[in-house]
Amino acid sequence: MKLHFATSNSNKLRELSSLLDSPLISTPLDLQEIQTTDLHEPVKNKLQQAFDKLSAPVIVEDTSLYFEAWNELPGPFVKWFLESLGLAGMVRALSQFEDTSARAVCCLGFTIDGKTMHFFEGKVKGYIVEPRGSRNFGWDSIFQPAGQQKTFGEMSPEEKQRLSPRGKAAVKFKQFLKLKVKQK
């Protein structure tokens, strides 16, 4: 089965293709993103829009970063926080709080028919630190997973894939696909 991945982000495409051991068809679509702190809602909404445009099996993804001191923020709004504050600005804004713990959450959404939707979530606890490592991929350089000495930005692709929320969600999705193939 050919899988479309509704993204224009080449980093996400490369990572998810590697994690699934399968080339995905990059399908950049202009999808409306609803604004909510519930990560499943924008994924569900984007998934429906993507299927409506493609009429083909499609994956969408959204990744959120939650600062525990800020409750549900920045969450799914992290992209706009990055655009407005930058990495250093986000760290500076959080430094006013004693608690620098955070959690990164990725939700993959998948549908074959546009009716039945499947969601696969990966979560990683960690801490927000001063930017270290590559700054080429979102907030990777300020997130240090719990129990690790490196930020995602300092890790090799293999290290990051093993620990990342996208990696954890992809493992669940890959298991789901294997079961679907066995059922046929």
Alpha carbon distances (Å) from 63 to 47, 102, 124 = 14, 13, 11
pLDDT tens digit sequence for 132-175: 999 888 999 999 999 999 999 999 999 999 999 999 999 999 99
Those residues whose C-beta lies under 8 Å from the C-beta of residue 48, and which sit 6 or more positions away, are 111, 114, 117
pLDDT tens digit sequence for 146-155: 999 999 999 9
pLDDT tens digit sequence for 11-57: 889 889 999 888 899 888 888 888 888 888 999 999 999 999 999 99
Predicted local distance difference test score (pLDDT) of residue 35: 85
